[in-house]
Amino acid sequence: MAAGTGGRTLFTRQSSGLVREVSVLNALFFNTAAFVGGGLGWYPVFYSLAFVPIGTFAGFTTYGWAAIIVGAFCVLLALIFASLTSVMPRSGGDYVFTSRIVPRIGPFVGWLESWTLAFASLAIIAFEVPIFVRNLQITGRVIGIGTDIGFFKDANGWFAEQPGYVTGLPGFIAAVIVLALIAVIVFQPTRRFHRIITWLAALGLGAGLVMFVVGMIAITPENFAANLPKYADGITVDQLVKAGIDNGFKADGINLDPAVFSFIAGIVFLNYIGFQYSAYISGEVRGNVRRGILIALLGALAIGVFMNSVYTDFISARLGIDGQVAWGASYWGFFSDPPLPLGQPNSMPLTAAIAAPGLWPIWTLVSLGVTLFPFLLCPVYIVFLSRVQLAWSLDRQVPEWFGEVSERLRAPANAIFAALVLAGVFALLQNFPVLKMVGLGALAPSADPLLDGKLNLVSTLWFSILAAGLTWIMPGINALLVRRTRPDLVRDAPFSRWLPLLGLIWVVFAVTLYWFAGIKPILDAVAGALAPGAEETALGYLNRTGITFTLLIFGVGVVVYVIQWVANRSRGIDTSLMYHEIPPD
């Protein structure tokens, strides 16, 4: 079908096929499920992931202050999204905004922005699936602490290879089971899907509330320190604290120098991504879209700030901040002496059970809630990815097959299926040395032969942060440009007068963070690797940290865009007119 001059003939069809049946409450819990993931129990584990010293000031850790500061800036992002979705209420989110607002190169930038976000999201799913299995193990360990039953005390072996890695055939079997459960949820009609997500997310948040209230009452540093050696083969809190100090994880106060603080803020970005995802399903939100999206974004953001600061820091203080930082560092592999306590990360229900074992039934219920959220994130991401594919399809960026909407589901079933298949591919790469088998083992190197050639959790996380860079930066650029490039779209948009200022502040913040936490460290590391006598080659560094994988995804995205552009041109389709219109409702 050749493009014409009317909006009705520019797109692959006249209607998206979606139905507006998502309530404000549904959108709020959609966002909440999208960002919480394993964090409900694992936020203390992330203290040390950035490998910078952690201190405290005014009752909050460096990580807690990062959560508060990043959260304050994210209010600006929420206002930008609310403003743009009110005049472009279409599924696809920032892809739609960028492709319509940025002149000339907008369609290409919007494609690359959403393409890299899609793979960052798939990597996060790949990260959350083994966390779900880990949380099942931790739930077993909590029961084992309370009952002393051998089956539960040996829970580290569930779905794991020796010496406790959730990988290989056991890990893949677990991943297939989890993906099958995800498929059951995502192939529900849209209204039922959101009802399931809303109720399960509410249950998960209820478990977090119990963790916070009971934990603040029942946990004391003294009880935790006294009981830890009993359950951790003699490992003491003092040993963990010393290891943390010796390995550079202890700081006096907090350091706001962007060269240091940006690394912690980058981890917070990772834990916040998803709070804005209701903007990507705005074509299905009923009622006042501006109000609904704004409430969903700011509500989810408030939950995120609370959970990453007050919730995490106050509970960790009841256990001993320095010991929690060090335990997390041990889990990420920053040191091995003393060994990882209980062979598990310092999940809140597990540390609570150590401090107050008599309350193990409560901690078990909390742990089940903690287990729920990393699972819940996955169907939300699959649905979000399907809406991005639908937007691509309407704009002829991918074949129309991806955007075909099922009448029963009122959702793009083919796109959902494609996202599930890609999630399965990531599961294969994570559990088997497939890359090594095909001669690409250098992309996933590991000194441990059991992990060599497999995607690992840490590099997967850094890949997600880097690949999502355009997703964090482009909303600010769109806000800066829109009044000049598309005044016809934002003439009646809320906060229209303030969009350039909001965009400028956000761009400065996001670019500063990505420069100090991303680009500059990469340039410095590559320069060091190229110096004479360097212990690691530049390519070895890029492969180990997931940067090569990120560059490959960018490259493949460019190739796919060019192929589709040539295909459209060969069919006589002039897509340039299409981006002057918003996609069909």
Structure tokens at 366: 């909390």
Using the predicted structure, report yes or no on whether residue 10 has a pLDDT greater than 70.
no
Which pLDDT belongs to residue 247?
95
Which pLDDT belongs to residue 458?
66
Cα distance between residue 75 and residue 16, in whole Å: 30
Q: How confident is the model at residue 224 (pLDDT cuts 50, 70, 90)?
A: very high
Give the residue-averaged pLDDT of 527-550: 86
Averaged pLDDT of the chain: 90
- b/e map 441-466, b = 16+ CB within 10 Å: bebbbbeeeebebbbbbbbbbbbbbb
* Region at 504 (left for phi over 0; alpha for psi -120 to 50; beta for the rest): alpha
Give 378-432 pLDDT, tens digit per residue: 999 999 999 999 999 998 899 999 999 999 999 999 999 999 999 999 999 989 9
Query: Which residue reads 């989110």 in tokens?
Result: 93
Using the predicted structure, report yes or no on whether residue 8 has a pLDDT greater than 50.
no
Structure tokens at 468: 């999502």
CA distances from 196 to 172, 175, 201 (A): 26, 21, 8
Give the residue-averaged pLDDT of 137-164: 92
Where do the domains of the chain lie, and which CATH numbers do they carry? Answer: 7-580 (1.20.1740.10)
Whether 414 contacts 404, CB under 8 Å:
yes
Which residue, 541, 525, 573, is CA-closest to 445? 541
Amino acid 576 reads: S
Whether 525 contacts 95, CB under 8 Å:
no
Q: How confident is the model at residue 7 (pLDDT cuts 50, 70, 90)?
A: very low
Which pLDDT belongs to residue 9?
53
Which residue, 266, 292, 265, is CA-closest to 81? 292
Kindly give the residue spans of alpha helices, DSSP state H, lying in 157-288: 168-186, 190-218, 221-231, 237-246, 258-272
Give 13-70 pLDDT, tens digit per residue: 566 778 888 999 999 999 999 988 888 899 999 999 999 999 999 999 999 999 999 9
Structure tokens at 323: 């010991």
Which pLDDT belongs to residue 2?
36
Which pLDDT belongs to residue 15?
66
Rg (CA), the chain: 24
